[in-house]
Amino acid sequence: MSDFFSNGWSVFVAVVTVLSMLACLLLLAVAARRRVMAGDNTTGHTWDGDLTELNNPLPRWWMWLFIITVIFGAAYLALYPGAGSRAGALGWTSVGEHEAEVRASREAMVPVYARYAAASADILIADPAAMGIGERLYVNHCAACHGSDARGSKGFPNLTDADWLHGGDHATIKKSITEGRVGMMPPMAAVVGDAQDIRNVAHYVLSLSGSPHDAIAAASGQAKFATCAACHGPQGQGNQALGAPNLTDTVWLHGWGEAAITAMVTHGKVNAMPAHGQRLSPEQVHVLAAYVMGLSRSRTAATP
Q: Is pLDDT of 32 > 80?
A: no
- Other Cβ atoms less than 10 A from the Cβ of 17: the count is 15
Q: Is pLDDT of 26 > 60?
A: yes
Nearest-10 crossing angle of helices 94-117, 128-141: 150
Are 189 and 269 in contact by the 8 Å Cβ rule? The answer is no
What does the alpha-carbon distance between residue 140 and residue 188 come to, in Å, rounded to a whole number? 37
Amino acid identity, residue 236?
Answer: G
Min mean pLDDT across 55-64, 152-161, 164-173, 245-254 is at: 55-64
Amino acid identity, residue 227?
Answer: T
More confident residue, 72 or 304: 72
Q: Is pLDDT of 155 > 70?
A: yes
Q: Is pLDDT of 152 > 90?
A: yes
Mean pLDDT of 103-109: 87
pLDDT the model gives residue 66: 86
What superfamily does domain 184-273 belong to in CATH?
Cytochrome c-like domain (1.10.760.10)
For domain 100-180+274-302, give the CATH number. 1.10.760.10
Min mean pLDDT across 26-40, 133-147, 224-238, 270-284 is at: 26-40
